[in-house]
Amino acid sequence: MNLKSTYILLLIAGFYLPGRSQIKLAVKPNEVTSDISPQMWGIFFEDINFAADGGLYAELIKNGSFQFPIALTGWRLNKPKAEDQWLIINQQKRSITNTRVARIVKTTDSSAYTLTNEGYRGIGLLKNDKYNFSVWARAMSGNLKLRIEVLRSTGARIASGEIITTPGSWKKYELALTAADSVYGGVLKISFIGKGSIEMDNVSLFPVNTFKNRPNGMRADLAGLLDSLKPGFVRFPGGCIVEGRDLQNRYQWKNTVGPVENRGLIVNRWNMEFARRAAPDYYQSFGLGFYEYFQLAEDLGAEPLPIINCGMACQFNSGEVAAMDELDPYIQDALDLIEFANGTVQTKWGKLRASMGHPAPFNLKMLGVGNEQWDAQYIERYLVFEKALKTKYPQIKLVAGSGPSASGVLFDYAWKQLKTSKADFMDEHYYLPPAWFFNNAKRYDRYDREGPKIFAGEYAAHDKEEAIPESRNSWLSALAEAAFMTGLERNADLVRMCSYAPLMAHVDAWQWRPDLIWFDNLKASATPNYYVQKLFSNFKGTHIISVTMQDSIVAGQDSLFASSVLDKNQNQVIIKLVNMARSSKKVEIHIDGLPPDKFQARGITLTSRLSNDFNSLKNTKIQPQEKQYDILNSILAAEMAPSSFQVFIIQYGSPKISK
Ligand code: AHR
């Protein structure tokens, strides 16, 4: 029987069993089987779908340093007088990574010489919000004035101001702007007024309101959604972008730190990956670099989990590998990264971290070696990294990869080879149809407990809806993930970290879907899958306890899936229950060992009657709804709505630790 028919059978079974008497579940808070990692539910950030530049990273100007191969990408130059000049100069003396500057020579007083930036699919400003315009410039002669405006596509002005330049050496000019109105698809226009010549670089328009008010920080609404997840870890910077299409275009963290105006640029690996979703203007500016990632993790209260290139480019692309006897620079990058994160300010890389504003260590505890690599070429490289890293930093936990799929020859090979290694975690990835997730809720109940722990590092149920981008984040996909996640939680002794993937997508610039959070230039939308993640993460508990139906784990019988945890800090019993049937279910949850008082429980439900329902930027149809239940004689009687996921929270004492 294939996955689809199994799923249909399960659905039919659920559908035709509505009238059954109450289903009894038994929860035993006194039978703790294991602790749960505080890092159990985290996030995986990759710069895909314009998630960094044009997304979480709040910079609004595309190609502000003219580093794209075509220097005017994103810009429109209006230079009506032939005698005026526009020149891109390669000036390695200023910076070896950001080498280009633009020279403007204006010979007449006419004000028509302008440069207009289109932003990332337009520039979005919010009414009354404040923005900082800045530009690095060297006025060489004359008295040029820069008029800075943000305009609607109709030409209507939303914000404006002027900068007077003074001949001299390179300096940063800044201008505070306030948006008179909201604009979605705006442009930034620089008009050069007067006569003179100037060189300029790093044109920037940045909101003042960033997450935690960090300079060079994150878009407040998007980071706020991440914050609400209460993630236990942040895995960064990818994904395939760690690997790059070839080794030259791999992610090198050292190019992403130091003054933002000196950071280089590389092509984003997702730029032309899918012809049907080509994004030729997709590059990585590294304004969001490793310092910012560490800072973000700290601001979210999450453990940082960087992934480093292990001398291998993406095997879906060139598959280029570094020669085995030439791995040293790659390994050195990994060792230096640990020093950057944890070294004292006396060390070379610790000093750089301090100079960027964080003298205290970031307290890095985990590192991933390679992303989604496979076969012998990965194993032999991983083992060399492992030896070097564990020798110098035995306390750092290492994440190894198990390849691109959830099973099969490559998967089995990786596990066989690495089972006895010193890897602390094996990273497993699964992008599969909803039926797979329902059918695999028991996946880890069967796993051998010897060897590395599991990091479910990338997963998402891939449904087939097509209408608009967010429609692949259907309710069915979220429900399937919830069912599967009860299995992850039940096996939290083995599965220590999990993250949905990918995390974010711009509705006008995506390459891959489904994604956890969709956004445009002004707004963000949490998918049903987001709320599933949030409910698991916000109520993750500290210890696993058993929940059974007729003495068996609950993984599909009567179309139900369940897991249960104890939160010893909050003094809560938490039960997560999924009803995949299209009929409601009456359940009686018998909770052993509660004092014989009358208790109340919170029940938080996510549901939709339509399996292809989804949330969009215009309409959040599926979101948590809360109600109270009475618990009498230790029994919580509830009705599970058709196709629903519900979390029950029973407070049996006062919280010991405030959340
Ligand atoms: O999440 C999208 C991609 O899926 C990741 O970059 C890669 O690791 C996997 O193939």
CATH code of the domain covering residue 561: 2.60.40.1180
372 lines ligand 1 (CB under 6 A): yes
- Nearest CA owner, ligand 1 atom 1: 502
Query: What local confidence, expressed as pLDDT, does residue 96 receive?
Result: 80
State the chain's maximal CA–CA distance in angstroms. Answer: 91
238 lines ligand 1 (CB under 6 A): yes
Query: What local confidence, expressed as pLDDT, does residue 11 receive?
Result: 47
Whether the predicted pLDDT of 535 surpasses 50: yes
Cis peptide before 238 (omega within 30 of 0): no
For range 38-46, the mean pLDDT: 98
- One domain for residues 92 and 180: yes
CA distance 1 to 20: 27
Query: What local confidence, expressed as pLDDT, does residue 21 receive?
Result: 65
Where a domain ends, among 207, 237, 260? 207
512 lines ligand 1 (CB under 6 A): yes
β-bridge partners, 34 = 544
Residues 6 or more apart in contact with residue 107 via CB below 8 angstroms: 81, 83, 84, 195
For range 107-118, the mean pLDDT: 90
Structure tokens at 106: 């204006």
What does DSSP say about strands 425-432 and 123-125: parallel, antiparallel, or unpaired? Answer: unpaired
Whether the predicted pLDDT of 604 surpasses 70: yes
Query: What local confidence, expressed as pLDDT, does residue 97 receive?
Result: 84
The pTM of this model reads 0.96
- One domain for residues 26 and 94: no
576 assigned to some structural domain: yes
pLDDT tier, 659 (very low <50, low <70, confident <90, very high otherwise): low
Report which DSSP code applies to 210: B
Query: What local confidence, expressed as pLDDT, does residue 105 receive?
Result: 96
127 assigned to some structural domain: yes
Query: What local confidence, expressed as pLDDT, does residue 657 receive?
Result: 63
Query: What local confidence, expressed as pLDDT, does residue 9 receive?
Result: 46
Per-residue pLDDT tens over the stretch 430-483: 999 999 999 999 999 999 999 999 999 999 999 998 889 999 999 999 999 999
Query: What local confidence, expressed as pLDDT, does residue 648 receive?
Result: 98
β-bridge partners, 90 = 100
46 lines ligand 1 (CB under 6 A): yes
- One domain for residues 194 and 81: yes
Query: What local confidence, expressed as pLDDT, does residue 17 receive?
Result: 45
Asked whether 625 and 604 are in contact (CB, 8 A), the reply is: yes
- One domain for residues 80 and 202: yes
pLDDT tier, 1 (very low <50, low <70, confident <90, very high otherwise): very low
How much distance in Å is there from the Cα of 425 to the middle of ligand 1? 18
Sheet with 171-178, edge to edge strand ranges:
85-90, 100-106, 196-207, 130-142, 171-178
Asked whether 381 and 312 are in contact (CB, 8 A), the reply is: yes
244 lines ligand 1 (CB under 6 A): no
Asked whether 52 and 284 are in contact (CB, 8 A), the reply is: yes
502 lines ligand 1 (CB under 6 A): yes
- Nearest CA owner, ligand 1 atom 7: 239
By most ligand atoms within 8 Å of CB, the mutation choice from 308, 315, 371 for ligand 1 is: 371
Query: What local confidence, expressed as pLDDT, does residue 473 receive?
Result: 98
Atom of ligand 1 nearest to the CA of 431: 4
CA distance 564 to 466: 35
514 lines ligand 1 (CB under 6 A): no
- Nearest CA owner, ligand 1 atom 6: 239
Burial 248-286 (b: 16+ CB within 10 A, else e): ebbbbbbbbbbebbbbbbbbbbbbebeeeeebebbbbbb
Can you give the residue range of the structural domain that contains 156?
75-207
pLDDT tier, 285 (very low <50, low <70, confident <90, very high otherwise): very high
Where a domain ends, among 150, 178, 207? 207
- Nearest CA owner, ligand 1 atom 9: 239
State percent of the chain over pLDDT 70: 96
Report which DSSP code applies to 298: H
- Nearest CA owner, ligand 1 atom 8: 239
DSSP 233-294: EEEES-SHHHH-SSGGGS--GGGG-S-GGG---EE-TTSSSSGGG--TT-EE--SS-HHHHH
Whether the predicted pLDDT of 6 surpasses 60: no
How much distance in Å is there from the Cα of 432 to the middle of ligand 1? 13
Query: What local confidence, expressed as pLDDT, does residue 452 receive?
Result: 98
Q: Which of 540, 543, 615, 626 is nearest to 229 (CA)?
A: 540
Query: What local confidence, expressed as pLDDT, does residue 92 receive?
Result: 86
How much distance in Å is there from the Cα of 370 to the middle of ligand 1? 12
- One domain for residues 582 and 635: yes
Whether the predicted pLDDT of 543 surpasses 50: yes
- One domain for residues 125 and 175: yes
How much distance in Å is there from the Cα of 501 to the middle of ligand 1? 7
Asked whether 463 and 434 are in contact (CB, 8 A), the reply is: yes
Please list the active-site residues. Answer: 372
Atom of ligand 1 nearest to the CA of 239: 6
456 assigned to some structural domain: no
Q: Which of 458, 389, 401, 449 is nearest to 425 (CA)?
A: 401
SS3 labels along 576-591: EEEECCCCCEEEEEEE
458 lines ligand 1 (CB under 6 A): yes
Asked whether 458 and 497 are in contact (CB, 8 A), the reply is: no
- One domain for residues 23 and 114: no
- One domain for residues 26 and 86: no
How much distance in Å is there from the Cα of 561 to the middle of ligand 1? 28
- One domain for residues 106 and 197: yes
C-alpha 296 chain-centroid distance: 11
How much distance in Å is there from the Cα of 514 to the middle of ligand 1? 12
Whether the predicted pLDDT of 192 surpasses 60: yes
* Mean of the per-residue pLDDT values of the chain: 94
Query: What local confidence, expressed as pLDDT, does residue 658 receive?
Result: 59
244-248, 249-253, 599-603, range with the lowest pLDDT: 599-603
CA distance 343 to 355: 13
pLDDT tier, 65 (very low <50, low <70, confident <90, very high otherwise): very high
Whether the predicted pLDDT of 10 surpasses 70: no
659 assigned to some structural domain: no
Q: State the residue for tokens 């007083």.
A: 109
240 lines ligand 1 (CB under 6 A): yes
Atom of ligand 1 nearest to the CA of 240: 6
CA distance 630 to 621: 28
By most ligand atoms within 8 Å of CB, the mutation choice from 43, 49, 405, 431 for ligand 1 is: 431
CA distance 379 to 283: 30
124 assigned to some structural domain: yes
- Domain count for the chain: 2
Query: What local confidence, expressed as pLDDT, does residue 15 receive?
Result: 40
List phi, psi (to 5°) of 224: -60, -40
Where a domain ends, among 207, 223, 243? 207
Structure tokens at 481: 């993930």
By most ligand atoms within 8 Å of CB, the mutation choice from 45, 47, 49, 240 for ligand 1 is: 240
Atom of ligand 1 nearest to the CA of 44: 1
Q: CA 248, 249, 253: angle at the middle one, nearest 5?
A: 100
- One domain for residues 21 and 144: no
- Nearest CA owner, ligand 1 atom 4: 239
How much distance in Å is there from the Cα of 430 to the middle of ligand 1? 10
SS3 labels along 24-68: EEEEEEEEEEEECCCCCECEECCCCCCCCECCCECCCCCCCCCCC
45 assigned to some structural domain: no
Atom of ligand 1 nearest to the CA of 238: 6
- One domain for residues 80 and 165: yes
Domain of 137: which CATH number? 2.60.120.260
Whether the predicted pLDDT of 536 surpasses 60: yes
By most ligand atoms within 8 Å of CB, the mutation choice from 47, 48, 245, 312 for ligand 1 is: 48
SS3 labels along 136-191: EEEEEEECCEEEEEEECCCCCEEEEEEEECCCCCCEEEEEEEECCCCEEEEEEEEE
Query: What local confidence, expressed as pLDDT, does residue 593 receive?
Result: 83
Structure tokens at 617: 């930027």
The amino acid occupying position 460 is A
425 assigned to some structural domain: no
104 assigned to some structural domain: yes
Whether the predicted pLDDT of 3 surpasses 70: no
- One domain for residues 86 and 202: yes
Query: What local confidence, expressed as pLDDT, does residue 467 receive?
Result: 85
Atom of ligand 1 nearest to the CA of 512: 2
- Nearest CA owner, ligand 1 atom 5: 239
Query: What local confidence, expressed as pLDDT, does residue 221 receive?
Result: 98
Query: What are the C-alpha distances in Å from 474 to residues 12, 55, 332, 420, 505?
Result: 20, 23, 44, 40, 15
For range 208-221, the mean pLDDT: 98
